[in-house]
Amino acid sequence: MATIIDIKEEIALQVKDFEYTYAGADAPSVKKLNMPIAKNSITALIGPSGCGKTTLLRSFNRMHDLYPGNKYAGEILFKNRNILDKNEDLIHLRTQIGMIFQKPTAFPMSIFDNVAYGLRLQGIKNKTELQDRVEKSLQNAAIWKEVKDRLKHDANGLSGGQQQRLCIARAIAVEPEVLLFDEPTSALDPISTAGIEELVVELKEKVSIIIVTHNMQQAARVSDYTGFMYLGELIELGVTENMFVTPTEKLTEEYITGKFG
Partner 1 sequence: MSIFLDKLFAHSTKFIAITILFIVAWIFTVLVEHSMESIHAFGFDFLTTDIWAPNLEKFGALPAIYGSVVSTFLAMILAIPLAIGVAIFLSELAPARLKTPVGVSIELLAAIPSVIYGMWGLFYFVPIIRDAFGGVGISMLTAGIILSIMILPFMAAVTRDAMNTTPDILKESAYALGGTKWDVIKDVIIPYAKAGIIGSVILALGRAIGETMAVTFVMGNVHKISLDLTMPATSIPVALANEFTEADGDLYYSSLFELSLILLVISFAIISVAKFYFLRRKRD
Partner 2 sequence: MTHTHKRIIINRIVMSLSSLSALIGMGFLFWILGVLIYNGVDALNWNIFLNEGAPPGHEDGGLKHALIGQLYIVGVATLAGVPLGVLAGTYLSEYGQKSKLAETIRDISDIMMSAPSIVIGAFVYAVVVMPMGHFSGWAGSIALTIIMLPIILRTTDDMLHLVPSTLREAAFALGAPKYKVIIQVVYRGAKAGILTGVLLGIARVAGETAPLLFTSFNDNFLNTNMNESMASLTVTMFNYATSPYEDWQKLGWAAAFILSMFILSLNIVGRLFLLKKKGR
- Report the interface residues with partner 1, using CB under 8 A: 23, 61, 63, 66, 68-69, 91-92, 94-95, 98-99, 101-103, 105, 107-109, 117-118, 121-122, 167, 170-171, 174
Q: How far is the CB of 124 from partner 2 (least distance, A)?
A: 8
- Give 1 or 91: the residue with its C-beta nearer to partner 1: 91
Q: Which of 238, 246, 217, 187 is nearest to 43 (CA)?
A: 238
Q: Which is nearer to partner 2, 11 or 121 (CB)?
A: 121
DSSP label at residue 223: -
CA separation, residue 226 to residues 10, 42, 98, 219, 244 (Å): 16, 8, 20, 7, 9
Among positions 83-102, residues that touch partner 2 (CB under 8 A) are: 91-92
User: Which of partner 2, partner 1, none lies near 1, with the C-beta cut-off 5 to 8 A by kind?
Assistant: none
Q: Write down how long the chain is.
A: 261
**258 contacts which partner out of partner 2, partner 1, none, CB within 5 to 8 A by kind?**
none
Extract long-range pairs of 218-223: CB within 8 Å, 24+ residues apart. 218/44, 218/185, 218/193, 219/44, 219/46, 220/244, 221/197, 222/42, 222/44, 222/197, 223/42, 223/43, 223/44
Q: Residue 156 carries which DSSP code?
A: G
Of these partners, partner 2, partner 1, none, which one is at the site of residue 66 (CB under 5 to 8 Å by kind)?
Answer: partner 1
Q: Are 13 and 25 in contact (CB under 8 A)?
A: no
Q: Which does 103 bind (CB under 5 to 8 A by kind): partner 2, partner 1, none?
A: partner 1
Burial of 3 (0-12, 13-18, 19+ CB in 10 A): middle
Which 100-139 positions form the footprint of partner 2 (CB under 8 A)?
121-123
190 contact, one of partner 1, partner 2, none, CB 5-8 Å limit per kind: none
In the bound complex, what is the minimum distance in angstroms from residue 260's beta carbon to partner 2?
Answer: 31
Q: How far is the CB of 112 from partner 1 (least distance, A)?
A: 14
- DSSP element (H, E) containing 179: strand 178-182
Contacts to partner 2 by CB under 8 A: 91-92, 121-123
